[in-house]
């Protein structure tokens, strides 16, 4: 029996104009944008549809914007009668996945991720942290390079995205040292990323501590659709486990490759990326060439769905 997973994108998939054609053409999608504007007290929809990009790139705006576009897209996909057997989301995308699974309300989620973005941004002063992508090296080699580069500072794997694509995060000088060591050790590529904070490393501890009581104040239901979570690539079925996973996710690496392999082991052979961009669809083929994926984030993508 064929099984489908819906995948929800994280930060980096944003661009001005996202969601505009869906909101114009699909009333259910438009209603999500209207709910976001009401929940946040400003026109997030205008920011998504018109930009400017520099405002959209601010983490406290990026996170609710991507979540809202993803859930608006989900509303349009559901109108075609499509439902997943499993859900997963990359970092921020785990919130979208939990809305899709019925664990948290969209209104709670969009308010939560705006705070999450602010807490993550404020956890480390601008310029103190950095992130870099290292391509063409095994996870164990990258972990060893990080240990060598730390020299009393923080640098560690932050996103295990696919074989040969690992993102590291930590103090800016330590990340730069790791990049230099990786290049000398034969990495295909090692480049600093244009990000505003060093996500998914121990420097995010203060953000986790501020986010935890906000998560505790929100109602979490047991999931209608199983989730494979970021922090352990484990199947989550209860609201309590979902909440705990979101707390642990902030200062710990995103195990995306492991999550996709877990979904495949559960019999998932069809993946649909729901939301802006095609980042996760691109990663699928790098993880396992046998995995089939498609993406829907606009009207053209929606019309291709059967």
For 74, how many CA atoms within 13 A lie in the half-sphere containing its CB?
26
How far, rounded to the nearest angstrom, does the alpha carbon of residue 251 sit from its chain's CA centroid? 14
DSSP state of 85: S
52: cis peptide before it, omega within 30°? yes
**Domain identity same for 39 and 172:** no
**Domain identity same for 230 and 285:** yes
**Domain identity same for 119 and 260:** yes
**Domain identity same for 43 and 98:** yes
**Domain identity same for 9 and 96:** yes
**pTM for this one?**
0.97
User: Which CATH number covers residue 256?
Assistant: 3.40.366.10
**Domain identity same for 151 and 247:** no
Rounded-to-integer distance, Cα 150 and Cα 155, Å: 6
**Domain identity same for 231 and 119:** yes
User: Which CATH number covers residue 186?
Assistant: 3.30.70.250
Checking DSSP bridges between strand 165-171 and strand 155-162, what pairing results, if any? antiparallel
Assess contact for 70 and 276: CB atoms under 8 A: yes
Q: Is 299 exposed, middle or buried (0-12, 13-18, 19+ CB in 10 A)?
A: middle
**Domain identity same for 150 and 231:** no
Domain boundary, last residue among 195, 216, 247? 195
Residue-level pLDDT, tens digit, the chain, 306 residues: 789 999 999 998 899 999 999 999 999 999 999 999 999 999 999 999 999 999 999 999 999 999 999 999 999 999 999 999 999 999 999 999 999 999 999 999 999 999 999 999 999 998 999 999 999 999 999 999 999 999 999 999 999 999 999 999 999 999 999 999 999 999 999 999 988 899 999 999 999 999 999 999 999 999 999 999 999 999 999 999 999 999 999 999 999 999 999 999 999 999 999 999 999 999 999 999 999 899 999 999 999 996
**Domain identity same for 40 and 59:** yes
**Domain identity same for 40 and 115:** yes
Domain that holds residue 176: 129-195
**Domain identity same for 133 and 90:** no
Residues identified as active-site: 91, 200
Total structural domains in the chain?
A: 2
- The residue behind tokens 């904070």 is 197
Q: In what order do the strands lie in the sheet with 235-236?
A: 235-236, 227-228, 86-89, 3-8, 268-274, 292-296
């Amino acid at each position: 029996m064929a099984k489908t997973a819906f995948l929800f994108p994280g930060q980096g998939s944003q661009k001005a104009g996202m969601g505009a054609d869906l909101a114009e053409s699909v009333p259910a999608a438009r209603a999500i944008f209207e709910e976001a504007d009401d929940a946040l007290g400003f026109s997030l929809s205008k920011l998504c549809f018109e930009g400017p990009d520099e405002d959209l790139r601010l983490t406290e705006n990026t996170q609710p914007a991507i979540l809202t576009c993803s859930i608006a897209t989900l509303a349009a996909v559901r109108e075609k009668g499509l439902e997943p057997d499993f859900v997963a989301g990359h970092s921020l995308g785990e919130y979208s996945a939990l809305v899709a699974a019925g664990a948290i309300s969209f209104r709670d989620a969009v308010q939560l991720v705006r705070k999450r973005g602010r807490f993550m941004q404020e956890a480390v002063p601008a310029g103190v942290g950095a992130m870099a992508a290292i391509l063409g090296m095994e996870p164990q080699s990258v972990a060893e390079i990080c240990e060598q580069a730390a020299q009393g500072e923080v640098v560690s794997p932050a996103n295990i995205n696919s074989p040969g694509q690992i993102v590291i995060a930590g103090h800016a000088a330590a990340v730069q040292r790791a990049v230099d060591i990786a290049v000398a050790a034969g990495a295909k590529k090692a480049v600093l990323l244009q990000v505003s904070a060093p996500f998914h490393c121990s420097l995010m501890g203060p953000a986790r501590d501020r986010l935890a009581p906000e998560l505790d104040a929100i109602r979490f239901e047991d999931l209608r659709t199983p989730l494979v979570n970021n922090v352990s690539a484990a199947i989550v079925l209860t609201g309590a486990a979902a909440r705990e996973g979101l707390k642990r996710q902030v200062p710990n690496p995103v195990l995306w490759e492991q999550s996709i392999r877990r979904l495949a082991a559960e019999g998932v052979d069809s993946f649909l990326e729901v939301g802006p961009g095609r980042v996760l669809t691109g990663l699928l083929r790098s993880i396992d060439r046998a995995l089939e994926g498609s993406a829907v984030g606009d009207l053209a993508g929606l019309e291709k769905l059967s």
